[in-house]
Amino acid sequence: MKKESFFFEDKLKDINAKFTKDGWVTIYDSSSNENESSLIYCCLVDKDKKEESKKNNSWHFHIGSEGKPSVWGDNSYTTNAETGIKPFLVQRNFSLSDRYESFFDVSEEFILYFNLYENGDNKQNRKYYYIDDLGNLDEVLIFEPKRIRVKLKYLKEYITIREMYFIVKYSFDRFIKADKIDWEINSEDEVISEDHYIYHRIIRPLDNRMQSAVLGKVFIEPNTHKKYHQDLSDDYETFSIGYDENGDELFESCEKTNEKYFKLTYFKKEVLNKYYNEPQKY
């Protein structure tokens, strides 16, 4: 193992990038071998809980114990175990007579908000799509056996509408045998905090090995302004309506204004035929 890997230079870049690459956010990732382990998970937190959440690096809940729903000792029912903390992914486990199955489901509210269409070979390999007014499919969620990603623009709209923050939680461990180290290593035990992340970093001897570990959270903030994906665009199409005294075309917007309520508008039949004859294009 190289020195850069032991000190998590690659993972620190991911933390600074909020686990976002090419417009996609990794919200679950799991891998392990004898030399390292990596786990990424996620949740939602109310705005008024964000500052409290930034004060420590601990996770709000762990995989398989998301607290949704919860039944307490007096048989009282709550949708979420902790007020202001909501799971975005929930692990489902089933012990069947002939096999054991485990997979993740995503928040139903997120699915229903965008009316996402699910398609795939099985629960471990599936995708969710947003379908626009023309029937075009846009990938929103990608489920793989060891990784789940969500498209950032959809996630940001969702947390903005809900007035929440999205948290990507991470835990990384790497080990190297003491006799394989050819550089100087000092023990570390510190909490590092910036505006959009906090993590606890440890470097220590463990048996005959050295351990490097990072445990923390990244905060993805909502947009400044709310915008609903089905709202009409503020941009209005313009059409040629004639020519001015210099022979230049005159254009007029189709934006609705008071002076246009009783204004007649005509289209050439050739223009309309273009749209009628090629519905797959227009």
Has residue 202 got a pLDDT over 80? yes
pLDDT band at 247 (very low <50, low <70, confident <90, very high): low
**117 vs 256, more confident:** 117
pLDDT at position 235 is 63
What is the overall mean pLDDT for the chain?
Answer: 89
DSSP 67: -
pLDDT score recorded for residue 248: 57
Residue 125 has pLDDT above 90, yes or no: yes
Supply 265's token pair: 């508008």
Least confident of 27-41, 90-104, 263-277: 263-277
pLDDT digits (tens, 9 = 90+) for 74-102: 999 998 888 899 999 999 999 999 999 99
Q: Can you say whether residue 115 is alpha, beta or left, with left for phi > 0 and alpha for psi between -120 and 50 degrees?
A: left
To 5 degrees, how large is the angle CA 42–CA 107–CA 66? 55
Domain limits, the chain: 3-220, 238-277
pLDDT band of 282, cuts 50, 70, 90: low
Predicted confidence at residue 234, as pLDDT, reads 56
Q: Where are the beta strands (DSSP E) in 183-255?
A: 188-194, 197-206, 209-220, 238-243, 249-253
Q: How far apart are the first and last CA of the chain?
A: 56
Alpha helices in 168-254 (DSSP H): none
Q: What is the mean pLDDT of residues 185-214?
A: 92
- With tokens 């009409």, the residue in question is 232
Q: Which residues contact 119 (CB under 8 A, 6 or more apart)?
A: 126, 127, 129
249 pLDDT more than 80: no
Asked whether 152 and 140 are in contact (CB, 8 A), the reply is: no
Quote the Cα angle for 148-56-54, to 5°: 75
pLDDT for 183:
82
C-alpha 164/C-alpha 107 separation (Å) is 14
pTM: 0.80
User: In this model, does residue 174 exceed pLDDT 70?
Assistant: yes
The CA angle 219-225-230, to the nearest 5 degrees, is 105
pLDDT attached to residue 182: 80
Q: How far apart are CA 170 and CA 62, in angstroms?
A: 11
Of the listed ranges 36-50, 162-176, 222-236, the least confidently predicted one is 222-236
- How many helices (H) and strands (E) in the chain? 6, 18
